[in-house]
Structure 1
Amino acid sequence: MPTITKLFSVKEASQHNTRDDCWLIIDGKVYDVTKYLDDHPGGDDVLLSATGRDSTEDFEDAGHSSDARKLMEEFFIGEIDTDSTAIPELEIFTKDHQKSSDLANKFLNKAVQYWAFPAAAIGIPIVVAALLYSHKR
């Protein structure tokens, strides 16, 4: 009797992107590597950074051995449904990942925080000294 492979949409697989629930998509196959995070030789950060998207290129670039490829079979849970509607662009937001507009605002706030006071502390005395000097003439 043939085995039935569970099909997942990219959207569904991409929602499993945390340390407590970590799925990877590699070559159209879905792997639940949650229990393997602590054992991964490259560390859990490598796997966590590859969630939420197709990680095939990352996997291939790392040059995994045939033993690693065989080990993957333990974590196989299904395949990507190629008939499902693809989502145009997937953005996964974590605590460390913010929109560019948020980053620009954060930079501006830091710039004001760290540069406004020193600039005022230097600029105000210069302006006052210039005004006092011009009144004495």
Structure 2
Amino acid sequence: MPTLTKLFSMQETAEHNTKEDCWVVIDGKVYDVTSYMDEHPGGDDVFLTASGKDAKEDFEDAGHSQDARDIMEKYFVGELDPSDASIPEPEQEKAETIQKFKELPLQYWGIPVAVVGISIIAAFFYLRRK
């Protein structure tokens, strides 16, 4: 007899965003990681920042081992409801990321660009002198 998987909305999972009650979503699967937060090598901040969104990309970028994936299954509580309209589409997430990057203040990208530019000019004059 097949077991029924509990379905959650993204909004419902996002409500579990404290150290005392934390759920994360990875690739559409919902995990209650509250009891694992103190044991996690990356600390509890990793989970707290991952709550309220599908953290698959963050999880994959961290390069988790197969052991980590096996441990994760112990905390599985259900899946995201595929009909939930609040689940952002990947293209929408990319567009939001690009927009956030465009809105970064000048100090975050202007200074490094200026340093690189000055370095190139200094190298040009140095090599020209030889």
1:30 matched to 2:22? The reply is no
Unmatched segments (≥5 aa) in structure 1: 89-137
Q: Distance in 2 between matches of 1:5 and 1:73?
A: 14
Q: Which runs of 4+ in 1 moved over 6 A?
A: none
User: Which residue identity is paired with 1:82?
Assistant: P
Unmatched segments (≥5 aa) in structure 2: 89-130
Deviation at 1:62, TM superposition (A): 0.2
Larger Rg computed on CA atoms: 1
- TM-score with structure 2 setting the length: 0.65
Q: Distance in 2 between matches of 1:87 and 1:39?
A: 29
- TM-score with structure 1 setting the length: 0.62
Matches within 5 A, 1:1-137: 1-86=1-86
CA RMSD of aligned residues (A): 1.2
User: Which residue identity is paired with 1:44?
Assistant: D
Deviation at 1:45, TM superposition (A): 1.1
Q: Distance in 2 between matches of 1:13 and 1:32?
A: 9
Q: How many residues align?
A: 88
2:46 aligns to what SS in structure 1?
Answer: helix
Deviation at 1:53, TM superposition (A): 1.1
